[in-house]
A and B are shown apart, each in its own frame.
Chain A
Amino acid sequence: MSGSNRLAGLKARPKDTTVEEVRRVDEVGEARGFVDRTPRKKPGRKPSPRTYQLHPKVFPEVGKAIASEAERLGITQGQLVEKLWEVYCKSTSK
């Protein structure tokens, strides 16, 4: 008998792949220690795309006001400077 004729005799059994069935399989596996071992993503905060550093020196009262306003808004001082820059660009039509 040729190879392909022999292979025609091979059959797959029907199998469900419903969410419910996968859940049952997971439960059975977990009970025996077959747990999810998918590698976790690196923990912690992702590096900021804001990489450029300014070095402005301002009067203390201005610096304190900028710092407290950023804190009140829940953003970084850099983000506040970006907002200020945006307003500045609009006002000077840059």
Chain B
Amino acid sequence: MPVIVMASPKGGVGKSTCAVLLASEFARMGADVTVLDCDPNKSLTRWASHGVPVGVTLRGEIGRSEIVPTIRSADGDGKIVIVDLEGVASQLVSRAISQADLVIVPMQPTALDAEIGSEALALVREEEEALGRSIRHAVVLTKTSAAVKSRVQKELEAQLSGAGIDVIEPSLVARAAFSELFAYGSDLTAMLNDPEMVTGGKVDKALINAQAFTEAVYERLK
């Protein structure tokens, strides 16, 4: 089953949020999902400490020398492996990319994110050349506005498409519920159904966004 790697040398772009949303949604679809937390900030470990959805297993403390064997051991029939990487340019990142069936590069619609994120895209292409096989990769724009598409976002999408880069639609909108997942753990469905979980955001819209994003990722894994 596929290995999905979240990669960007820039921190704070939404790698961990993407990983949590995909893990939750694929688990809800019935997959056995293993999430590898390779980020020294341990965002996913913090999320999991509040509880993980049924079907999701988290493994942390994975370094450069363990990443390839850990992905190999977690992979198997009916299993999806999601790797959340650190926001730096490291050998751990390049090794994880080499094991991916899909590399997702989250990017906020800003010039800085685009510039630093493009390093990850360039690395994927160079690894493809060195290994002699294709590694599917796509950009997802994150923390976008729910109301309007900014001029910068439109320009960035046009630039990415012009360069032949796959851009996942829909983008992930800036939603309070996404960030609150790390405070409550589990998934958006639990957040929606539990009156104890108080959130200032619109969980139902966040869930629709997450499901559409997961569907778009699923289409790329077929």
Contacts and interface: CB of A to CB of B under 8 A. Distances in A.
A22 B31 contact: no
Contact of B30 (A3, A13, A21, A22): A3
Given A3-B29, A12-B1, A35 B91 contact: yes
A28 B99 contact: no
Contact of B130 (A6, A12, A24): A24
B115 to A, nearest CB: 13
Interface residues on B, range: 35 or more
B29 A29 contact: no
B131 A29 contact: no
Nearest to A24: B130
A22 B95 contact: yes
A53 interface: no
Interface residues on A, range: 20 to 34
B101 A12 contact: yes
Interface string B125-161: 0110111010000000000000000000000000000
A43 to B, nearest CB: 19
A9 B91 contact: no
Contact of B93 (A3, A24, A29): A29
B58 interface: no
Interface in B187-222: 218, 221-222
Contacts of B127: 25, 28-29
| 5 interchain residue pairs of minimum CB distance | A29-B94, A3-B29, A4-B30, A3-B30, A37-B90
A33 interface: yes
A22 to B, nearest CB: 6
Nearest to A4: B30
B162 interface: no
A40 interface: no
A85 B152 CA distance: 78
Given A12-B2, A21-B98, A34 B91 contact: yes
